[in-house]
Each structure stands twice: as structure tokens, then as C-alpha cells.
Structure 1
Amino acid sequence: MHIDQLDTELMEWMNGSRLETKQHEAMQLLTVTGGQWAHTAMISMGEVLAISPSCLRLALWQGTQTSMNMMETGKATLIAIHGQRLLHIRLEVRLLPELAKAVHPRDRYEGNIQHIRIDEAPYAEITSGITFQLKDPASALGRWAATIEDLKK
């Protein structure tokens, strides 16, 4: 199935709130290197914000291969599992201006959703996606909350 924008459930999931309940969830962010190789990175719920049904903002550590790839190509694909659906969210991205007073400086991107492919199988249920355990939840959740606030600017 294909959709053109985030539905209400996905908007709520990616709204940047209740991060403590989403602290174990992660997504993959796919980009392409200059050598045309696929590059994958992990991205947490504290680094993604739905601005509207057709627009996401992403925060990446500065100078990473993922960020350099996005600057070069202007494209990325976010792979997420939510509500027993495997989502492939294609984005056209642009770098946002650096925030001079950011507590946790990041490369911030705005991504216009071009297409969302949803994989579902009638004979099987997806029971989980990528999950992890934070080593220092209080520190990470505080950083995520600050990052989400920066993505709103």
C-alpha cells in the first residue's frame, strides 16, 4: 500500500511528546554515499519530529556520514515500524540553519515526504521493530527533549 502523507496515528507517534514512553524505539535512516553505496544509521524518537502530515524534521550529529550524504543528495529514506506496519518514508531534505544557542548542536534537516510505502502481510503480524535500552535514560531523555525543542524552531 502507498500513502502520500502521515496519517493521524503516525503524526501522534512522531509528535515529539511522551519521549519516556518511546525511549526504546528506533528507526533506520537510509542515505546513499558519493560512491553510490547504501548507508544506514539509527535514529531515535528524540531526533524526529512531525511538523505536518507531509513534513518531518530530523536532527543528526554534526559531521556524520549520514548528514554529509543528505547534504550531497538531498534525499533520505526513513524506515520505521509502528502499529504492525513497516514504513518506508521517502524524503527530500534540506539543511536548516544552525541554531547558535543549541544546547546539543545538531545538523537539522527538514524533509518533505514524497511517498510512504507500507508493507503489511495478510498472513503475518510485525511484532516489533528496532528496539534498544538506554544506558542513562535521564540524560538521553533530557537531550532528546532539548533536541525536539530545537527541531520546532
Structure 2
Amino acid sequence: MHIEQLDTELMEWLDGGRLDTKQHEAMQLLTVTDGQWAHTAMISMGEVVAISPTCLRLALWQGTQTSMNMMETGKATLIAIHGQRLLHIQLGVRPLPALAEAVHPRDRYDCNIRHIRIDEAPYAEITSGITFQLKDQAGALARWAATIEDLKK
């Protein structure tokens, strides 16, 4: 199935709120290197926020290979599992200016959703995606909350 924008359920999931209940969820962010190899990175719920049904904002650690790839190509694909759906969200990427007052400086991106492919199988249910356990839960959740607020600016 294909859709062109986030539905109500996905907008609520990616709203940047209730991070404590989403702390174990992760997604993959796919980019392409200058050598034309696929590059994957993990992204947490504290590094992405839906601004509208057609726009996401992403925050990446500064100077990462993923960030460099996105600046070079202007493209990325976010892979996520939610509600027994495997989502492939194609993004057109534009860097946002740095925030001088950011407590946790990040490379920030405004991402136009170009296309969403949803994989579902009639004979099987997706029961989980990538999950993890935070080592410093309080510190990570505080950093994520600050990052989400910076992405909304």
C-alpha cells in the first residue's frame, strides 16, 4: 500500500510527546554515501517530530556520516514499524539553521514526505521493530525532550 502523508495514528505517534512510553522504540534512517553505498543509522523517538502530515523534522548528532550524506543528496528514507505496519518514508531533506541556544546541539533537518510505502502481509503480523534499553533513562529522556523542543523551532 502507498500513501502520500502521515495518517492520524502516525501523526500522534510522531508528535514528540510521551517520550517515556516510547523510550524503547527506534527506527532506521537510510542514506546513500558518495560511493553509492547504502548507509544505515539508528534514530530514536527523541530525534524526530511530525510538524504536519507532510513534514517531519530530524535531529542528528553533528558531523555524522548520515548527516553528511543527507546534506550531499538531500534525500533519506526513514524505516519504522508501528501498528503492525512496516513504513518506508521517503524524505526530501533540507538543513535547518543551527540554534545558538540549543542545550544539545544537533544538525537539524526539515523533511518533506515524498512518499510512504506500507508493507503488510495478510498471512503474518509484525509484532515488533527495533527496540533498545536506555542506560541512563532520565538523562536520555531529558535530552530528547530538549531536542524535540528545538526541532519545533
Secondary structure at the residue paired with 1:58? strand
Distance in 2 of aligned mates of 1:53 and 1:152: 14
Give the drift of 1:31.
0.1
Q: Is residue 66 from structure 1 mapped to residue 79 from structure 2 by the alignment?
A: no
Give the drift of 1:17.
0.2
Distance in 1 of aligned mates of 2:17 and 2:115: 24
Residue 28 of structure 1 aligns with an amino acid whose one-letter code is Q
Q: Which residue of 1 aligns with 2:37?
A: 37
Alignment deviations for residues 71-129 of structure 1 (CA, whole Å, 9 cap, x no partner): 00000000000000000000000000000010000000010000000000000000000
Residue 15 of structure 2 aligns with an amino acid whose one-letter code is N
The 5-angstrom pairing of residues 3-152 of structure 1 reads: 3-152=3-152
Matched pairs, number: 153
Distance in 2 of aligned mates of 1:128 and 1:151: 27
Structure 1-normalised TM-score? 1.00
